[in-house]
Structure 1
Amino acid sequence: MHWTSLAALGLAAPTSALLRFGCSQIVIERLDPLVNPGQNPSPHLHQIIGGLTIDVQNAFNVTMDPTKDISKEATCTSCQFSEDFSNYWTAVLFFQAKNGSVHRVPIIPNVGFEGASGGMTVYYMQDGLANYAQTSKVTAFKPGFRMLIGEASYRSKNQAARFRQITYTCLQTPGTRYPESVNFPTSPCPAGIMANVRFPTCWDGKNLDSPDHMSHMSYPETGTFESGGPCPDSHPVRVPQLMYETVWNTSRFNNKADWPETGQPFVWAMGDHTGFGSHGDYVFGWKDDALQRAMDSTCYVNCPTLKTQGISDMNKCTVPVTVDENVDGWLPSLPGSPSEM
């Protein structure tokens, strides 16, 4: 999908809502309350943003009781919109050197969110970015809703084809948005690698979750969200397109003399050198009807119907790690040491 610049998009006068906002890091550690609830540590490292409870970690935690509304539990959020206590997370990217040692790749803020402590950019859209009008009606997620997209164990293009829009952008500049690839870039990227995760947009209208965290959701019958395909009868409710952008600062690792002889040097925390195992997790936590209110409004990127906070307050919403292990500096193996390493 080719994007114009955000500045150019802003010239259009929308009739409905597209939210684009930054969220700072709350923690990087081996926790995954969606796929591995109650397991501490989880098998691989994640970078997590969104809501939590300062001092008492009962909003984002190792279990996250699905019967609780986390917007009522959380006391702060690392996201720009202060009514959003949702949690969003992805795996963590590492560089693997020629000698086999690994180093965590730092995350840098996206364009427009300079000063944020790592984190991601989050989108909620009624239509694809190319549709300036954003006119389609969508139904906001409900308290208790959660979902996963992507499969950490996938290592081939054929497997990854199951997920239509999990991609990478090799950033020539911080503003680069295309082309996108489904595998890791194979050449040095001057401004880093952007990992893009887009979630399905059709809901069955009944289940807030499913055993695999995916079956209650579906892609449109044909095409993608951007192409306006209809939802299947089994999943008739059109929900916002949720999208993550994470900018990994790979520029410090661009000296190909340091790359392994096998070529591409980057590896996800679960031992994936291909990029096909990229995935994203989501637990809904917007306060009351804030998200539906925004989706029904004339919000475009910024949203006057929502309360906002500054980057300094976003950066304050953090929690100490609970897993006692080193994840920084040069390490002999990935945290958790996936067998594929």
Structure 2
Amino acid sequence: MKWLSVAFALVAPTQAALRFGCASLTIQRLDPLVEPGRSPSSHLHQIVGGNAFNVSMAGDIGEQGTCTTCTFSEDFSNYWTAVMFFKHTNGSYKRVPIMANDALPSGIKGGMTVYYTQQDFNSNGNVKMTAFRPGFRMVVGNPTSSAEQTGLRFVCLDNKSTRFPELANFPTKACKGGIMTVHHFPACWDGKTLDPPDHQSHMYNTVKNAFQNSGPCPASHPVRVPQLAYETLWDTAQFASMWPKDGSNPFVLSYGDNKGYGTHADYVFGWKGDSLQRAMDSSCMFNACENGRPLKSQVVTAMNKCAVKQMVNEDIDGWLTELPGHSM
């Protein structure tokens, strides 16, 4: 790995940072990363990104997609998280709709906000950012966790611009503007493994809460990759009148977690060619990276139009007697 260290030292850092919206691609019980080939998977996910998403995924996803729900039309990556449900006091469940971030163009159909930043939210640190390679995948978080996980947070929204405080688990009161889930991925890579069996050991986490400076990468994972983060806004406010009288949290994630410690997210890299590296080598910030400066972008109507077929035939809307995949 010595050559990597030498190469990084010769390249001056830049100020690049991406923040963009991705409309909903599909909401299905599929997980081609953790449960490839299994249909349906164990719990429901909401997925955004390129239309190469399927029960199983292999090869260079950036060369397989023909459309994407994301702002940048060269990004065929897939990003997904567990779905949030409201649990009524009568025991029934209702899927919580997703809202678009108000910092993004209006009209985006649900989805999430995706970040690829340098060392923190508004600065790059002092090393070169190396883009992920074709075939790269990773998972952050663990659905079986019963303790706080670094960088995985909930925010009780007063409005869509609320960002603090960040909570380690579900809010304990009704939130006026909804709930935001935040997933910060590790940003130190071993430089060689694209996707180990656990989808995590090739990465090392020096990420702190919110968009704070990350610590230096260790010798075992020396390659600084972009700081990937998701923000997902859930329209929980519509359930405020049904909040349990005993004050207990009525929300649950699709794998049955009503605490929130098991919140997790998945990533399958799918940027076309060297587009992500070009962005990380530039000095653009947020929407200044669009319209060919240096990334190609698309209008909201094109983002909303991209979709994949329904591969799991089950009811995920309306009031359900049980969570999808969780038979009593």
Length-normalised TM-score, structure 2: 0.91
Q: How far, CA to CA, are the matches of 1:284 and 1:254 in structure 2?
A: 37
Among 253, 256, 266, the residue aligned to 1:271: 256
Among 269, 291, 297, the residue aligned to 2:282: 297
Unaligned stretches of 5+ in structure 2?
Answer: 1-12
Among 124, 127, 137, the residue aligned to 2:119: 127
Among 154, 174, 177, the residue aligned to 2:160: 174
Q: What is aligned with 2:320?
A: 331
Deviant stretches of 4+, over 2 Å: 131-136, 222-228, 257-262
Q: What is aligned with 1:320?
A: 309
1:44 equivalent in alignment to 2:43: yes
Where in structure 2 are the equivalents of 1:95-134 lying within 5 Å? 95-111=86-102, 112-129=104-121, 131-132=122-123
Structure 2 CA distance for partners of 1:229 and 1:106, relative to 1, 3 Å: same
Length-normalised TM-score, structure 1: 0.87
Give the Å deviation of 1:251. 0.5
Q: What is aligned with 1:281?
A: 266
Give the Å deviation of 1:127. 1.9
**Residue type at the aligned position of 1:90:** T
**SS of aligned partner of 1:84:** coil
Q: How far, CA to CA, are the matches of 2:323 and 2:178 in structure 1?
A: 21
**SS of aligned partner of 1:254:** helix
Contact 2:14/2:281 (CA < 8 Å) preserved in 1? no
- Residue by residue over 1:55-81, the C-alpha shift from the partner in whole angstroms, topping out at 9 and shown as x without a partner, is xxxx2110102xx10111110000000
Q: How far, CA to CA, are the matches of 1:218 and 1:307 in structure 2?
A: 31
Give the Å deviation of 1:124. 0.1
Contact 2:49/2:78 (CA < 8 Å) preserved in 1? yes
Among 219, 226, 229, the residue aligned to 2:212: 226
Q: How far, CA to CA, are the matches of 2:157 and 2:285 in structure 1?
A: 25
1:198 equivalent in alignment to 2:184: yes
Give the Å deviation of 1:153. 1.5
Q: How far, CA to CA, are the matches of 1:258 and 1:188 in structure 2?
A: 7
- Residue by residue over 1:191-239, the C-alpha shift from the partner in whole angstroms, topping out at 9 and shown as x without a partner, is 110000000000001100111000000013x967833411111101011
RMSD of the TM alignment (CA)? Answer: 1.8
Unaligned stretches of 5+ in structure 1?
Answer: 1-13, 53-58
Number of residues paired by the alignment? Answer: 310
Q: What is aligned with 2:3?
A: none
